[in-house]
Structure 1
Amino acid sequence: MQNQSSFLCSIPTVILEHIAHHTTLLDPFGPPAIIIPLLLTCKHINSALSFKTCSHLYARIFRSKFDYRAATRRFGLRATFSPNLAKQLKKYCKTLKFIRRGDIFSESLTKHLWIAFFMMSENDGRNYVQLKRAGLPQLVDRFVRERLWDDREHSNGWPAESTLNSLALWLLFFTTTPETLEAESPEERRALMELVRPYVITAPRYPSFHAPDNHFDFPLDEATLGHEFPYTYVTPHGFYPLYRQPEALVEHYKHYNMKLDIAAPPITIAAKQIYFTRSEMTPYEIPPDFPVDRQAANRQAEEAGHRIYPTPTQYDFREFNFHRGVKPVDLGNWDWRSELNEEDGQMEDDGVWRKGLKSKSSNWDNDWQRWTYCYNPWAVSNLKGVVYTYGTLQGLWTGRMLIPDINQYATLITAAQFPANFSPQNPNLTTMPLYMRLREHHCISPEFSVLPGGDHDGFDDGIRNGWFPKVNIHEANGIVRIEDTVHDFTSKYETYVEGEGSGEPKEECREREGGGGKGEEADD
């Protein structure tokens, strides 16, 4: 009997592609397994719709299932060419399948957590939904609770500062929601805080920066590269400040089928976010002996006849209990793009980074540039994008200050071995609400910026004085004049005002001879 061709074989390929794509829309979550029966219909259809010959179909499927606009902003239009999106679809589907298995002991765990981290940094709403349905929140929660302190014997008992641990903590922070916080029992909350607490408080061992913060001006002098770093202290944790070889930090991946060099994000930042989101679930007890409000505090100072060191008031504690210093990440929603007006939608689609974008992933664009270009403080890449958005430090800052018992803390940071008696009581931490009202000031060409302070020996740029030399500062009417009494020079800065172009110079702020930072922003 002669084989009969399926009537589907007579359908033009372009129509078959539409059928395949719309079939995947019936189940937008997870891998597009729903089209497998269609691919198995016959050899003709399988060939016409194969991954190899029909990459534009799989690129369409990718765009309907995952977020892609961040890739355009960060890599350019090349990232969204059909072959690249098709390969990304295959990579993401493999990671979702891996996450669904929930194997926290797999040798491939780091690789797949990297991909999940990329997805969350590019999330506008869809990536998170896919990862959540695959079980990422449960996977990283299990890993942190069961494996975060693994292999401590290789680091004198201290929790490891590894890429795997960093990615797990960042993903735990990304997937922390108000609902998950409420679902945790007090015991689970305290256990998690204790697991991350070494990263939070042991600054000599776990840095928060890719480069030591004693420097203001970058790139660093190449003379410091090698075996003669300008170390100040030798500690049981190594030299301090921590200068790290870029080769030991950088990792190489292919993302959207393009080479990507990236360093693991600092583990301490994620640990602090996790710690404080849980800590803030327990409100402050309001000290009854504190002044009721700021007016009462000022009256006490007047009655005392001398200046009293400022402390929080009862009102400050109530205000702090009402607000959260650390807020869970805004994870967006699946159809966010359709909710925008035409103008906002066009700005999201043109692939240009700018302030005011509505996409949730744009909140991480500055961080992405730091992760990919700031791990080497001896070099500045021409490809580096914007690492800081003007106005970020403008406004009222709210946070918590941890004040450890000084003797217990000194014992902790000078201990070569992780202390066996490490606990919530050792070192004991007092927490206080802290408020700062910040303003940004920018030196705009043709003005000259202030030289950094310090000894100008290539090591210390004056961190103990906010990186300034000895100065007198005068602010009035949106202008800040900084008198450098060391070099007998006065610099003029303008106070940043949102929407008025202040702090956005058309040309680079000039430097004076003798080095020093660009002076494009100064923080009060």
Structure 2
Amino acid sequence: MPTSLSSLPVEVLEHIAFYYVCPRVLGPPVPLTTLLLLSKTIFYKLSEARHLYARVFKHKFSSNAIRRRGFEPRVGEWASQLRWWLEVLKGVRNRRRRPGDEAYLDDIDAEEVGVSETMYALWIMCLEDNGCNRAQMQLAGVYEWVEGYIRTEMYKNLDKGWPLANAENSCAMWIFWYLSSKARLMEETPDQRESLVQLVLPFVTVPFRYPSAFAPANHFRLPLRSAAYSSSSTPFSIPTPHGPYPIYLHPNRHTWLIPHFDRWTALSTPLASDAAKLVYFSRRELMLFNVPPFLPPNREDHRARVRARLAAENNGEVDEARVQMVFRNAPPYTDSPAAASDSQQNMVMVDEQETNEQVPPEQDDSDMQRDPTMFTGYPQQGAVYTPGQLNGLWTGRMIVTGHRPNPFNEDTLRLAAVPLYVRFSEYAIYSGGTPIPCANDTDLNDDIPPDNAFDQGIRDAWFPPNAKLSANPDRLTVSVPSSGLTDREDTYDKRKPGTFHDRDTCPGCKARENALETARAQIPVGVDARSELIGNSQEQDELPPYVPSVETIPPCNGIRDVVITGSTDPRHAAAWGDWVWRGRVRKWDGMVGLVRSPNGSSAGNGGGKIFFYGTVIRGKNLVGTWRLAHEDPRMPAYEGAFTLGRKDE
């Protein structure tokens, strides 16, 4: 006897419905309307089939990130997120059909998602992408729609002529960079590329208006301390035409509530400055450096010119030792074995373009957790910095004010890019050891006057004054002068994180065990812990909403402090100058602070100490701002943007 569709068990009917609504991965699911209209029985069985919609979400969108970072969503929460993201992508497709500026206007009568909410939702889709989210956004035309917003809408609302670092503009630039690819960059015409650069340039070049962190780099410890009464968001700040400086971005003033897996989640507005730097440098790094015709095109030609000049000065007599000394002490910047030169076009390429393709999704975990309000109220906040990610060779460029133009006026003042090459090494101190203090360390002395505690060592990369670093292949010894007879010494290790600390006494390990015990206590007796926590059982729907799973409680790596050293490879030092680097990682937001100083003979070539501070994005891009290290941190200084990218060897 044939079996009718309505007589099938719910599980079988949902299985059939899944393949009906998901004939392919890309694109929105096929509406269930046809199946729902077959009979009242089928309508009743499928209208509340939340397990079906949860399965559709996991088929259409990336689902591992939320499990890894926060919690295991319940069945209804998967279904809610599916409806929300489908609504957002549908809104983008509908907006793209509208002419001109109408694509970015909020129509109250249309009951569609607003531009601000759309931008935030798309940015969360980028952060939680394992590949599926990117494909769905590309199919919906998100890249083209966001590019149109940057070109036509970002300057609609201005503050004294400057674009706003609001949620729409910030998220638009982040999404635009995230969805960029090498193919898309190469397809841009020079005019399109230049217009984009001009649009994002204010966010890149005005650090005293658009900050690179939620708290300025002069602070290494929390809480931030103020000497006089002021608003909670601007301690120590002075008024300027661009607003208070230094800039403190208080989360209460930069927070949005958005639906995220059926929960109203508070998220801070991402920093516009970092996104603009990524967009700017991704375009500028496609351009080769011009080699002036009066400079030698390669090393051998430069050596020949030095020999000829010395011969002319000494009546034809040439001392090869003298030639080699002059050659090494005064090398032209374009004469580098690391640079691939084109003598016909007088151009030189010094770095490689980094793209966002084929990046492991785990690289976004630190980016997600650095948000000061990300997952507030959830079981835990993850690590804001991934130890070991800076090890290796990094290349990039820094923006500086160029040589004095002739004539010198408002129209001719221009910027120049200087190449950067550095090989970083990371060292960590684990639980059981004592981290070195910073300058004016409030963790060690609460009686430090607030005015002194304001600057915690920005000129020395947060090290105490006169601290000395001594490195060998596996360990780094930091010597700090003390008031006693002997200096204090602390040892930092270069072993793999998580393999070198006492788990029995480590506070982080104890906290993790307590969290696991709390999670296990919520599981009914007789239910397999793993199936209950990762959602393989229908009983998952009965769990409290904030119960963590084993997968979402991060393992403890035991690290209490991270120190970074850097050096210049000989071939790069011969071309761009010999520099040494040292720095630390600010543990409460993952900011990297580094001081670059000349090494040996480079001290006489006009180089001084420069403080670089920024954030590692996606594990392979370090972007931020540089400034002269000796300048007063209370005041804007000679500073600019920089970027460094990991170079595969």
TM-score normalised over the length of structure 2: 0.64
Q: 1:230 to 1:8 in 2, by over 3 A?
A: closer
Alpha-carbon offset, residue 226 of structure 1: 4.7
Alpha-carbon offset, residue 321 of structure 1: 5.9
Q: 1:309 to 1:254 in 2, by over 3 A?
A: farther
Once the two structures are superposed, residues 428-485 of structure 1 have per-residue CA deviations (whole angstroms, 9 ceiling, x without a partner) of: 1111211111111222343322211258533110111111122122223422222222
Name the residue aligned to 1:436: 422
Corresponding residue SS for 2:455: coil
Distance in 2 of aligned mates of 1:158 and 1:22: 51
Q: 1:468 to 1:446 in 2, by over 3 A?
A: same
Is the 1:444–1:508 Cα contact (8 Å) retained in structure 2? no
Distance in 1 of aligned mates of 2:20 and 2:8: 16
Name the residue aligned to 1:111: 117
Indicate yes or no: 2:155 matched with 1:160: no
The farther-off stretch of 28-37 and 494-503 is 494-503
Alpha-carbon offset, residue 259 of structure 1: 3.6
Name the residue aligned to 1:268: 273
Alignment-mate amino acid for residue 416 of structure 2: T
Alignment-mate amino acid for residue 507 of structure 1: C
Matches for 1:216-255 after TM superposition, within 5 Å? 216-221=220-225, 226-227=230-231, 229-231=234-236, 233-255=238-260
Alpha-carbon offset, residue 233 of structure 1: 4.7
Q: 1:10 to 1:207 in 2, by over 3 A?
A: same
Corresponding residue SS for 1:239: coil
> Of residues 330, 335, 358 in structure 1, which corresponds to 2:357?
330
Alpha-carbon offset, residue 8 of structure 1: 2.5
Name the residue aligned to 2:177: 173
Alignment-mate amino acid for residue 104 of structure 1: Y
Indicate yes or no: 2:564 matched with 1:523: yes
The farther-off stretch of 388-397 and 258-267 is 258-267
Alpha-carbon offset, residue 502 of structure 1: 5.9
Name the residue aligned to 1:190: 194
Is the 1:445–1:507 Cα contact (8 Å) retained in structure 2? yes
Distance in 1 of aligned mates of 2:379 and 2:16: 44
Distance in 1 of aligned mates of 2:54 and 2:353: 37
Q: 1:195 to 1:477 in 2, by over 3 A?
A: closer
Corresponding residue SS for 2:224: coil
Alpha-carbon offset, residue 118 of structure 1: 0.9
Alpha-carbon offset, residue 199 of structure 1: 0.4
Once the two structures are superposed, residues 130-162 of structure 1 have per-residue CA deviations (whole angstroms, 9 ceiling, x without a partner) of: 11111101100100011111111xx10001111
Distance in 1 of aligned mates of 2:462 and 2:281: 28
Once the two structures are superposed, residues 325-345 of structure 1 have per-residue CA deviations (whole angstroms, 9 ceiling, x without a partner) of: 55121257xxxxxxxxxxxxx
The farther-off stretch of 18-27 and 183-192 is 18-27
Is the 1:442–1:495 Cα contact (8 Å) retained in structure 2? yes
Alignment-mate amino acid for residue 314 of structure 1: S
Is the 1:250–1:375 Cα contact (8 Å) retained in structure 2? no
Corresponding residue SS for 1:371: coil
Matches for 1:12-411 after TM superposition, within 5 Å? 12-50=9-47, 53-77=48-72, 79=73, 81-101=74-94, 102=96, 103-106=103-106, 108-152=114-158, 155-221=159-225, 226-227=230-231, 229-231=234-236, 233-287=238-292, 289=295, 292=298, 303-304=325-326, 311=333, 313-318=335-340, 324-330=351-357, 360-373=360-373, 383-405=380-402
Is the 1:496–1:503 Cα contact (8 Å) retained in structure 2? no
Is the 2:431–2:560 Cα contact (8 Å) retained in structure 1? no
Distance in 2 of aligned mates of 1:382 and 1:225: 35
Corresponding residue SS for 2:456: coil
Alignment-mate amino acid for residue 173 of structure 1: W
Q: 1:91 to 1:230 in 2, by over 3 A?
A: closer
Name the residue aligned to 1:472: 468
Q: 1:238 to 1:72 in 2, by over 3 A?
A: same
Once the two structures are superposed, residues 192-215 of structure 1 have per-residue CA deviations (whole angstroms, 9 ceiling, x without a partner) of: 000001101110000111111111
Alpha-carbon offset, residue 14 of structure 1: 1.9
Alignment-mate amino acid for residue 481 of structure 1: T
Name the residue aligned to 1:491: 489
More helix by share: 1
Distance in 1 of aligned mates of 2:330 and 2:224: 42
Alpha-carbon offset, residue 372 of structure 1: 4.4
Name the residue aligned to 1:512: none
Distance in 1 of aligned mates of 2:324 and 2:42: 87
Q: CA RMSD in A?
A: 3.6
TM-score normalised over the length of structure 1: 0.79
Is the 1:253–1:260 Cα contact (8 Å) retained in structure 2? yes
Is the 1:251–1:263 Cα contact (8 Å) retained in structure 2? yes
Distance in 2 of aligned mates of 1:256 and 1:67: 13
Distance in 1 of aligned mates of 2:435 and 2:323: 38
Is there any run of 5+ residues in structure 1 with no aligned partner, and where?
A: 1-5, 333-359, 413-420, 510-517
Q: 1:260 to 1:232 in 2, by over 3 A?
A: closer
Bigger-Rg structure (1/2): 2
Alpha-carbon offset, residue 89 of structure 1: 0.7
Distance in 2 of aligned mates of 1:382 and 1:324: 42
Corresponding residue SS for 2:435: coil
> Of residues 446, 457, 461 in structure 1, which corresponds to 2:456?
461
Once the two structures are superposed, residues 171-229 of structure 1 have per-residue CA deviations (whole angstroms, 9 ceiling, x without a partner) of: 10011111211111100000000000110111000011111111112343487885375
Alpha-carbon offset, residue 68 of structure 1: 0.6
Corresponding residue SS for 2:213: coil
The farther-off stretch of 41-50 and 58-67 is 41-50
Corresponding residue SS for 2:370: helix
Distance in 2 of aligned mates of 1:326 and 1:218: 37
**Paired residue total:** 462
Distance in 2 of aligned mates of 1:402 and 1:301: 33
Is the 2:475–2:493 Cα contact (8 Å) retained in structure 1? yes
Corresponding residue SS for 2:371: helix
Distance in 2 of aligned mates of 1:264 and 1:318: 41
Distance in 2 of aligned mates of 1:508 and 1:464: 32
Distance in 2 of aligned mates of 1:70 and 1:292: 49
Is the 1:454–1:467 Cα contact (8 Å) retained in structure 2? no
Q: 1:145 to 1:486 in 2, by over 3 A?
A: farther
Is the 2:22–2:30 Cα contact (8 Å) retained in structure 1? no
Corresponding residue SS for 1:235: coil
Distance in 1 of aligned mates of 2:243 and 2:378: 29
Corresponding residue SS for 1:468: coil
Q: 1:486 to 1:178 in 2, by over 3 A?
A: same
Is there any run of 5+ residues in structure 2 with no aligned partner, and where?
A: 97-102, 108-113, 307-320, 342-346, 442-447, 509-558, 566-649
Is the 1:249–1:263 Cα contact (8 Å) retained in structure 2? yes
Alpha-carbon offset, residue 315 of structure 1: 3.0
Q: 1:305 to 1:519 in 2, by over 3 A?
A: farther
More strand by share: 2
